[in-house]
């Protein structure tokens, strides 16, 4: 375990000495702020219109959770699809390019320690990214009365989604020494997992439900609604464990060739 933390610690420090970390964090917060501002402005407008019309039924249905937090979380998840590959692309690819891969593999480390350390390092960075956007929820709590439980479930969903993205990103980074290839293949895989359920309604019952089960969005959407179901937690855990297992095999494969 000590070795895992050593590798993760070095990884996190290296994120924060490179400009990529700050560009990504700034971009994420900038876009997040823009979404938040616009969703809030729209919510305000709807509120004004329906108050003027004195329509109590509609007013009852307008709430911060459904009209601000839920779309905000969905938008943030799309941005993560684009930004996580930028964070994870260097993970193992850069080690290979710089020759430090040889140092890691000729040290008395287990491959699982290298993989977990790399994953943990990127995870901590992405968790910081997700945590910074919690400020929007805090603002709503100060000025409004959203439902706390639903918000927490949604953010847990966002964090799990981001963690699964990181695991896929580290896997893609293990296949190549070229960071661009790592980033693009990660982006494509994540997008595919994101939209894989699109043909679900026309694909027949069995195929449709399989596609829906595979889709990250379906499981994430449940959590954004405030439903923390074991089924969804198991799904995220499966994606993470599977990606890390494949990364282990990928790193180990140098010993078979």
Partner 1 sequence: MLEVRNLTKRYGDFVAVRDISFTAAQGQILGFLGPNGAGKTTTMRILTGFLPATSGTAKVAGYDVFTESAEVRRRIGYLPENPPLYTEMTAEAYLRFVARIKGMPRSAIEDAIDRVVQTCGLESVRHRLLGQLSKGFRQRAGLAQALIHDPPVLVLDEPTIGLDPIQIREIRALIQQLAGQRTIILSTHILPEVSQICEKVVIINEGRVVLEQDMATLKSGGTLEDVFLRAIAKAHDADHAAEATA
Binding region for partner 1 (CB under 8 A): 2-3, 6-7, 10, 13-14, 17-18, 98-110, 254-257
88: which DSSP letter? H
To the nearest whole angstrom, how small is the minimum distance from the Cβ of residue 173 to partner 1? 16
Paired tokens of 83: 């930004």
CA distance 80 to 92: 20
Residue number with CB closer to partner 1 (145 or 257) = 257
* Nearest of 127, 129, 145, 128 to residue 137 by alpha carbon: 145
To the nearest whole angstrom, how small is the minimum distance from the Cβ of residue 123 to partner 1? 19
To the nearest whole angstrom, how small is the minimum distance from the Cβ of residue 4 to partner 1? 11
To the nearest whole angstrom, how small is the minimum distance from the Cβ of residue 3 to partner 1? 6
Residue number with CB closer to partner 1 (202 or 255) = 255
Residue number with CB closer to partner 1 (102 or 201) = 102
Task: Please report, to the nearest 10 degrees, the dihedral formed by the alpha carbons of residues 65, 66, 68, 70 taken in order.
Answer: 90
Residue number with CB closer to partner 1 (6 or 209) = 6
Burial 118-140 (b: 16+ CB within 10 A, else e): bbbbbbbbbeebbeebeebbeeb
65: which DSSP letter? I
To the nearest whole angstrom, how small is the minimum distance from the Cβ of residue 167 to partner 1? 22
CA distance 183 to 84: 9
Cα angle at 194 between 218 and 24, to 5 degrees?
120
To the nearest whole angstrom, how small is the minimum distance from the Cβ of residue 17 to partner 1? 5
The residue written with tokens 């078979």 in the block is: 256
Paired tokens of 66: 């459904």
Other beta carbons less than 10 A from residue 111's beta carbon: 17
Paired tokens of 168: 């896929």
Residue number with CB closer to partner 1 (225 or 249) = 249
């Amino acid at each position: 375990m000590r070795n895992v933390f050593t590798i993760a610690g070095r990884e996190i420090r290296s994120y924060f000495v490179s400009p990529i970390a700050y560009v990504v964090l700034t971009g994420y917060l900038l876009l997040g702020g823009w979404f938040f501002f616009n969703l809030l402005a729209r919510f305000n407008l709807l509120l004004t219109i329906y108050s003027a019309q004195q329509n109590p039924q509609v007013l009852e249905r307008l709430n911060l959770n459904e009209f601000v937090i839920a779309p905000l979380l969905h938008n943030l998840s799309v941005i993560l699809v684009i930004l996580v590959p930028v964070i994870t692309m260097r993970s193992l690819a850069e080690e290979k390019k710089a020759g430090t891969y040889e140092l890691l593999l000729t040290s008395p480390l287990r491959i699982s320690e290298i993989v977990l350390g790399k994953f943990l390092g990127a995870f901590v960075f992405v968790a910081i990214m997700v945590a910074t956007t919690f400020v929007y929820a805090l603002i709503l709590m100060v000025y409004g009365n959203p439902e706390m439980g639903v918000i927490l479930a949604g953010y847990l969903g966002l964090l799990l989604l981001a963690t699964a993205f990181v695991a896929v990103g580290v896997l893609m980074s293990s296949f190549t020494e070229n960071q661009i290839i790592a980033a693009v293949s990660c982006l494509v895989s994540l997008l595919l997992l994101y939209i894989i359920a699109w043909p679900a309604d026309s694909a027949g019952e069995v195929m449709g439900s399989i596609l829906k089960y595979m889709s990250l969005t379906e499981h994430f959407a449940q959590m954004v609604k405030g439903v923390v179901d074991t089924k969804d937690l198991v799904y995220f855990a499966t994606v993470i464990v599977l990606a890390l297992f494949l990364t282990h095999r990928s790193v180990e494969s140098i010993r078979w060739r």
